[in-house]
Amino acid sequence: MPNPTNPAKDVLPSGDYGPATLALDVGSVPGGAPTPDGIGKPRSLWTDAWHDLRRNPMFLVSALLILFLVAVAAFPGLFTGTDPKFCDLGNSAKGAGPGHPLGFNRQGCDIYSRVIFGARASVTVGILVTTGVVIIGGLVGALAAFYGGVLDSLLSRLVDVFFAIPLLLGAIVFLQAFPFRNIWTVVAAIMLLGWPQMSRIMRGSVISVKESDFVTAARALGASDMRILTRHILPNAIAPVIVVATISLGIFIVLEATLSFLGIGLPDSTVSWGGDISDAQSSLRSAPHILLFPSVALSITVLAFMLLGDAVRDALDPKLR
């Protein structure tokens, strides 16, 4: 009696990832540990994937783009000498001019500089939320799958509870409960309802790996639960989580921008693409360039993470080989 509630529910954004596909590779060395003889050594899932990735132009383009974005986020001063918060109303909504390649927004701030400095908010929120969600969701999912029984039922119901509330809605209600706004409240708000998806994926993946022969072997050798879970199961079960995490990073960035757009995300003092897009709304008819540039920057960032996720999935999914 197949329980229809579980298999298909973990629908991912680009959805073609079944955790079960990974089971094909579990015969190789768990975690890609090196073997003594170099010749004919079994290639692990990870070496195989890396081998594929290096030759995938989509991966190279998106990885370079992400490296560039991270550099911009970390050192915006290297890319522009203009202060994003220096605004002169005399320049309001002006087009491009010397030293100001993208023109000015309605308050007369330099758009290029604001686009550069806005990267930090998006990239930071994306990375922090994804890390947190992978840790919390991964832990809950792995424990539920590994121990099963009552713990599994309890944790799965908990996941259901958080799943029943739409992500954006929950984040808005959460943010409204705080008297102040900063990057941490935004991160916490998105994490609060973002972890269940990771948990479901991790759970499915661990369940499919748990029954492998090498787990039985490790158990027979007297390995502790902790060691089996961390050294044998997790390295072989984490692949789908990584794929979804990469794609979700893009979605979390959009979510942050949406919250800032609604005026309850990052405070106005933080330069962010979402906030700038929201401000540009009123001058869409007279000066569309104000809306254009932050939107393009945001879209390219999200696209880069989506492409990376797609490339990683293709590399990790043996079915496509």
Partner 1 sequence: MGTYVLRRLLQMIPVFLGATFLIFYLVLGMPGDPLASMCGERGCDPATAVALRAQFHIGEPLYIQYYEYMKGIVTFDFGETFSRRPVLEVMRDAFPITIRLAVVAFVIEICIGIPLGLLAGLRRGKFFDSSILASTLLIISVPIFVVGFLMQYYLGIKLGWFRPTVSGEAPWNELLLPGIVLGTVSLAYIMRLTRTSVVENFHADYVRTATAKGLPRRRVVTVHLLRNSMIPVVTYLGADIGALMGGAIVTERIFNIKGVGGTLFQAITRGEAPTVVSFVVILVIVYLVFNLLVDLLYAVLDPRIRYA
Q: Residues interacting with partner 1, by CB under 8 A?
A: 1-2, 4-5, 8-9, 11, 13-16, 157-158, 160-162, 164-170, 172-174, 176-179, 250, 254, 257-258, 261-262, 264, 274, 277-278, 281, 284-285, 288, 291, 295, 298-300, 302-303, 306-307, 310, 319
- In the complex, the smallest distance separating the C-beta of residue 129 from partner 1, rounded to whole angstroms, is 16
- In the complex, the smallest distance separating the C-beta of residue 186 from partner 1, rounded to whole angstroms, is 15
- In the complex, the smallest distance separating the C-beta of residue 174 from partner 1, rounded to whole angstroms, is 6
- In the complex, the smallest distance separating the C-beta of residue 284 from partner 1, rounded to whole angstroms, is 5
**Which of 64/169 has CB closer to partner 1?**
169
**Which of 269/286 has CB closer to partner 1?**
286
- CA atoms of 162 and 170, how far apart (whole Å): 9
What tokens appear for 80 in the block?
């522009």
- CA atoms of 42 and 47, how far apart (whole Å): 10
**Which of 201/291 has CB closer to partner 1?**
291
**CA 75, 78, 79, 80 torsion: positive or negative?**
positive
From the list 195, 208, 235, 239, the residue with the least C-alpha distance to 17 is: 239
- In the complex, the smallest distance separating the C-beta of residue 30 from partner 1, rounded to whole angstroms, is 27
**Which of 74/154 has CB closer to partner 1?**
154
- In the complex, the smallest distance separating the C-beta of residue 41 from partner 1, rounded to whole angstroms, is 32
**Which of 34/57 has CB closer to partner 1?**
57
| Distances in whole angstroms, Cα of residue 303 to Cα of each of 186, 198, 239 | 22, 21, 21
Q: Quick one: angle between helices 273-280 and 239-261, nearest 10?
A: 40
**Which of 117/174 has CB closer to partner 1?**
174
> Using an 8 Å Cβ cutoff, are 232 and 223 in contact?
yes
**Which of 232/313 has CB closer to partner 1?**
313
| Distances in whole angstroms, Cα of residue 256 to Cα of each of 183, 186, 274, 283 | 10, 7, 7, 22
- In the complex, the smallest distance separating the C-beta of residue 166 from partner 1, rounded to whole angstroms, is 4
- In the complex, the smallest distance separating the C-beta of residue 233 from partner 1, rounded to whole angstroms, is 26
DSSP 162-225: HHTS-HHHHHHHHHHTSSS--HHHHHHHHHHHHHHHHHHHHHHHHHHHHTSHHHHHHHHTT--H
Q: What are the beta bridge partners of residue 109?
A: 87
Give the torsion through C-alpha atoms of 27, 224, 211, 236, to 10 deg. Answer: -50
- CA atoms of 19 and 315, how far apart (whole Å): 14
From the list 321, 298, 317, the residue with the least C-alpha distance to 239 is: 317
Q: What is the largest CA-CA distance in the chain?
A: 77
**Which of 55/285 has CB closer to partner 1?**
285
